[in-house]
Structure formats: structure tokens, C-alpha cells
A and B are shown apart, each in its own frame.
Chain A
Amino acid sequence: MPRYLPAIKSRGRLPAAPAVGHLPPLSLQPAGFPWRRTGVIDEAQQDTQTRSAQPGGRRFCVTLAIMPAAELEVENLKVTFSTPDGELTAVNGIGYRLFRGETLAIVGESGCGKSVGAMALLGLIPRPPGKIAGGEIRLGSRAIPAASVRELRTLRGKEIAMIFQDPMTSLNPVFTIGEQIMETILRHTPLSRRRAREKTADLLRRVEIDRLSVYPHQLSGGMRQRAMIAMALSCNPRILIADEPTTALYVLIQAQILGLLNELKRETDLSVILISHDLGVVAEVAQRVLVMYAGEIVESGPVQDLFASPLHPYTEGLLNSLPRLAATRKRRQRLTEIKGSVPSLNEMPGGCPFHPRCPSVMERCKTQKPALLEIRPRHQTACWLHEA
């Protein structure tokens, strides 16, 4: 897929304005273009026609160039598992874009498919029983079918790195953390053993661990997670997938880890996919949010928008069920519950998967599944309440 947007290599310097004739007509732009087909470009072209003779003719390029390009694009990813009960769908055709330097949060409860979706990006789903039933992953200019695990494996560690929820079970207990990080570096880069060791020491120092020859069990939970982050970033990936990185950690350590991730993001222009069920953490670090339920995306949008005015009843339910930290409040207001529980994969309801638990359910919801539509600028949801 050709990139119509000139790549922004460094901030502050804008590329030169191409002449009007070089701007591709709207009809040739790929369907998944990050911004709407109204507004920006029409305005820009109009502008140019009146100003192209002037030095200020650069202006129209400014409007385009500020829009970041999609670092990663996932389209129609579908993951199934074969079980004695038949072929169960864990991820049912999700698609999203990750832009450079942003943190995209994927939110949902256990069993909604968020972790499976992320692991599928790196070819980590065990097959059998898992099967990638469809989808494509586009990284930069490469398009990789999601089912091609061999190709996805080349991305692992180098372009896309992942850190997991429980560092104790994700780190190898019989090797020191220094050895584990060096292994990653030696595998993906041409550095010599000595240089790899130096780099490992640097990385660990950056995450405030001053020793290489310690085993994971000798470290606290927070330190193990920091070691994992060092390992994940050792090959300078463009994208970091963090699967519930702080869920198992105490709140103070969580704040440290999130602060560290933010700093590293700023230093290296990293893009992060953060998977979490903790909406507070998401509000703190993410710019955009996807809400998943039963293997599908039910809402997606900018973080403040989504939390201030959620569109999907499930998102609203999640927000209302949080005990909020407030300075003064009436004692013990009842938390709003979402009745029922997440359906198991072999008991998926027909129509909209949320309808049995939805407080605003309509007849239509039981038989027809709503599609993901944009209701407000960049804020989409899949719900019959919002469709005409």
C-alpha cells in the first residue's frame, strides 16, 4: 500500500509542499485513510489554487503533514479455537489502526478476546487448538496475512515487542535477567556478545536495575516488570504491546511503571498498545481506547470523549461500576452493576452479543448484529441505539 503521506522523520521540520498536480485525487486514496474525506483536503486544494503562486503556498502541506501515519493496521482479524464443543470464535473480525507515538488502549473484561487479539499479532496463538481464521496485518508498507505465523515471527521482538501480565511466569526462571535480555539482542541484532552485554547493562540501568546477574525470583514484582520492559525495548521496536502490565502490581509500583513507559515513549517515539481492564490506568496513559466485548469491538474513540460521554451501554456500565476516588461523597452509594456475566464462547447470544445484559435492549438487538459506525468525529460504536 503506497503511503500518500510524506513520512515525518523528525518533529519541527515540515517537508516541502508538492505542487497541486501531485496530490492524488480523493478517489485513489485507500479506503482506510485516517481522516474523513470532507474538510481537510478540499479546503487545502481550494487554498492552494488561490495561493500557489505565493511563498505561503506551503500552507496546504502543513495541514496534511501534521496528520500522523498509521504505524500498524489490523484488518478483520479472526481467531478461533477448536474445542470438543466445536469451533469457538475468540476474536470475531476486529480492525483498528495504531498511530505513531500514541498509546491505544484495548479495554474489556476477561474472556473478551483482547489478549488473544494481541498475541495473534505476533503469531503467539498455539495452533492447534487455535487458528487464525482471517485477517491482515499491515506494518508500515508490509502487509502480512494474519495466518502467516512465520512472517509474523520475524516481527517479534524486532518491530513489535510484547510485555505480559505476570512477569514471574513470563521470565525464564533458570536464566538471569541479563542472559535473557542478551539473548534477545543477540538474536535480532548483529552486535557482538560484549557489546550486547554493555547494551543490556544500559537498558537495565535505564529501568533502575543495577545488576545483570540476578534471577527473576530474586527481584520484586515491580523490578521484574521493569526487567521485562528492558527486554522488550532492547531491539528498539516501533510498537510495544503491553498486556495488563500493572494488574498484578501494587498501585505505587504501577505508577512507577506507567511513568517509565511514558518517558520511554517520549524518548523513542514508541507506539503502545495497552491492554487493560483498569479504566483508571487507561485514562492516565492512553490517547485512544477500543472497548471489546465477546470478541468484538463495541466502541472506539478518544479517551476523554469516551469516558465523558460513552456511546455503548457496555462502556457506560463499566464506567458506572467503578468506585471513584472522590474527596467527599455520600457514604456507600450503591455501585451500578451490569447484570449477568460475560458469555462463554460456546454460548454466544445471537444478534448483538451484549443484548442479554443490556439495560436498553430493543427487539432488533436480539437478532441483528449492529456494525461499527462513526457517530461522532473519530468516535465509533456498534449499537442499534445510535443508528438511524
Chain B
Amino acid sequence: MATASANRVLLHVRDLKKHFPVKGNLLNRSSGTLRAVDGVSFTLAKGETLGLVGESGCGKSTTGRAVLQLIRPTSGQVLYKGKDLPRLPAKEMRRLRREMQIIFQDPYASLNPRMRIGSILEEPFVIHRAASGKRERADRVAGLLCQVGLSPDHARRYPHEFSGGQRQRIGIARAIALNPQLIIADEPVSSLDVSVRAQVINLLADLQDALGIAYLFISHDMGVVEHFCDRVAVMYLGKFVEVADRDTLYAAPRHPYTEALLAAVPTLESGRRARKVFISGDIPSAAAPPPGCAFHPRCPIREKICGEKEPELKETEAGHFAACHLRT
């Protein structure tokens, strides 16, 4: 299991925030901001996989994009190899982009339908001037296709000629084209069929072993996260509520939200499991978060203090953080 020693830390995010202004009378709050990401901090070491789980609307995709500067953060630091990305001049940022890539969730929307696969995979080389001429580009593209388990003559086809799993592989090929060190995988297998998921997850794992890539693995599927990640962070309404090693989180979660998540996952042995805790209600809007702990209206163990004071993310044991008044 990778530990984050100082010289192996690839990414250090400090107090990242992304707020969107909201116009109109959708809110009864005077502030008028949607706090999609509201103070998130974590580190990611070389070759490590950090899972980011949470409900839709909790801000995990926004976090991933803000790290890559696809969305400009409102405040906070994103230190990639010591350099603060939001404050870098554009030219340097563009050079660093070779090392940070993203795999998107929807394999049907993330490939340009009007370009052949060969052109899509050539683009990184063209943009970053990473290959000397057409012949070399074609060779590299063929190599990429083989690496993801497709055939080189697929380069002449269009995206619509492939299945969802194959398109996701093409998206992965595009992401690894320039040998990145960091890949944000934003729900890479959620829209794929069960047996295809296994293929794609195995591919991501193989690439990590071969190329030493660090992943920020964003997902809502607890089973896949458990299989693939070294550490896991649970997010709720723009903040982390728990961060821990994979084994610790799944065996002994501290935050009630994490417990509810783990209890809600249907498994094959569930027929014999004890009755679960149901969390009722729906996630509140990030534009109007509840006072105090954002989770308290739905929390089964809430007390008075939970509605008044916001809990801090505290370290309860080495590497295990939780934000709960009652459990830390």
C-alpha cells in the first residue's frame, strides 16, 4: 500500500473550493452561491489510487475537473509536483497538461463522432508536438490501440462503430497517449455492462502496473472502488466526510454516511445480512446546505450540536479522517 512520503507526493490539494453564482429566485438564501466544492484537501502519491465516492450532486466530478483546471477553482491550492496550478502562466500549464489526463464517464459523448479513431488518438501528439511526423504518429496510435486491447486497423473507423466498452477503451487510449502520471477517471465504468466493466477495470489496473499512473478514481459504485482503490474519500455536499485506507474504510467506517452507503450496497450474500439502516430523504441542494453538519437532517444518530456547528475533518487514527461530532 502506497504511503505518501514527501518526495513521492504527486498531487497535493489544499482547501479547494469551487462556487457557482446562482441567479434568480431559486433560493431563499441571501448568498446566492452554489458551493459545489467547499474546502477539499487531499494528497495523492505516485502510482496510488484514491477513490472519491459520493452521491450525484456531491461535487466529486467538479473536484476532479477543478484539479485539472478544466474548471477554474474559486480558491485553494492545487500543487502538482510542487507547482500551484491555478497560478501558473498558461504556457507552463499547457506543458504540464501532458502529464495529467482525464477519462470521462460517457463513452458516447466523449469521442467526437465526426472524427475517425485514428484522428482522435493523434490529437494529443499533434497538440503537444510529441511526435515527429505522420508516420510516427500512426505508429504511436497503433501502439496505443494494441495497448488497450483493440486492433490497429480500428483506427480507420468512426466512434459509432464501436460498443460502449470499446469506446471507453479508446478514451483510455487517448488518456495514456502521452504517458501521463495522473489520470482523473470520472466514473469510467458506470455506463458499461457488467462483464465489460471487468475488462475495463483490469485494463486500468494493468496500465497502472505498467506505467505507474496515479488515479483519482471518481465513482459511486462502492464495489468497484473497493476493488480498485488504495485509499477512499467519501464526499457529501462539497466536503469530505471521511477519508481512510480502503480496508479500514470498508471494515470499520466511522462516519454514519459511510456506514449507510456500505449497508445500502446490494451484494450477493445480502439475503443473509441483518436489516439495513435506511437513509431517508434526498440530498439537499448545494445552493442551500443545512446549517451545521450538512448531513445532519438525514443522519440516524444526530444530536443537537450537529445542527449548530460544522464538524471538522479530524484524524482519528493514522490516515483515517472523519468529520463527525459524535464519532471522533
Contacts and interface: CB of A to CB of B under 8 A. Distances in A.
A, B bound: yes
B196 A322 contact: no
B224 A323 contact: yes
Interface string B245-264: 01100110000000011111
A278 B271 contact: no
Most chain A C-beta atoms within 10 Å of own C-beta, residue among B250, B251, B268: B268
Interface string B217-251: 00011111011101000000000000000110011
B276 A255 contact: yes
B56 A332 contact: no
With most chain B CB atoms within 10 A of its CB, the pick from A208, A252, A256, A324 is: A252
Contacts of B165: 341
Contacts of B262: 325
Contacts of A277: 193-194
Given A220-B283, A328-B251, A334-B202, A321 B268 contact: no
Contacts of A319: 268
Contacts, number: 128
Interface residues of A, number: 46
B267 interface: yes
Interface string A118-139: 0000000000000000000000
Contact of A221 (B56, B164, B224): B56
Given A109-B193, A321-B194, A334 B205 contact: yes
Contact of B205 (A318, A327, A332): A332
Given A279-B268, A325-B250, A336-B198, A253 B282 contact: yes
Contact of A341 (B194, B196, B267): B196
Nearest to B193: A109
Given A221-B56, A327-B250, A335-B201, A283 B266 contact: yes
Contacts of B201: 323, 335
A113 to B, nearest CB: 14
B198 A252 contact: no
Given A251-B265, A280-B268, A332 B228 contact: yes
B132 to A, nearest CB: 36
A307 to B, nearest CB: 5
Contacts of A284: 266-267, 270-271
B15 interface: no
B282 A220 contact: yes
A318 B195 contact: yes
B55 A250 contact: yes
Contacts of B269: 283
A280 B195 contact: no
A320 to B, nearest CB: 8
Contacts of A250: 55-56, 220
Contact of A283 (B193, B251, B271): B271
A331 B209 CA distance: 13
A284 B1 CA distance: 33
B282 A341 contact: no
A223 B264 contact: no
A222 B195 CA distance: 26
A337 B195 CA distance: 6
Contacts of B197: 321
A252 B197 CA distance: 21
B71 interface: no
- Residue among A109, A220, A251 having the largest count of chain B Cβ atoms under 10 Å: A251
A63 interface: no
A255 B278 contact: yes
Interface in B262-314: 262-271, 276, 278-280, 282-283
Given A331-B1, A332-B205, A252 B56 contact: no
Given A331-B1, A337-B195, A256 B267 contact: no
Nearest to A323: B227
A323 B194 contact: no
A337 B264 CA distance: 26
7 contacts: A255-B276, A255-B278, A324-B223, A327-B250, A331-B1, A332-B228, A338-B195
Interface of A: 109-110, 208, 220-223, 250-256, 258-259, 277-281, 283-284, 303-304, 307, 317-319, 321-328, 331-332, 334-338, 341-342
Top 10 A-B residue pairs of the complex, sorted by shortest distance between their CB atoms: A323-B227, A280-B266, A321-B198, A255-B264, A335-B198, A284-B266, A109-B193, A338-B195, A323-B223, A283-B268
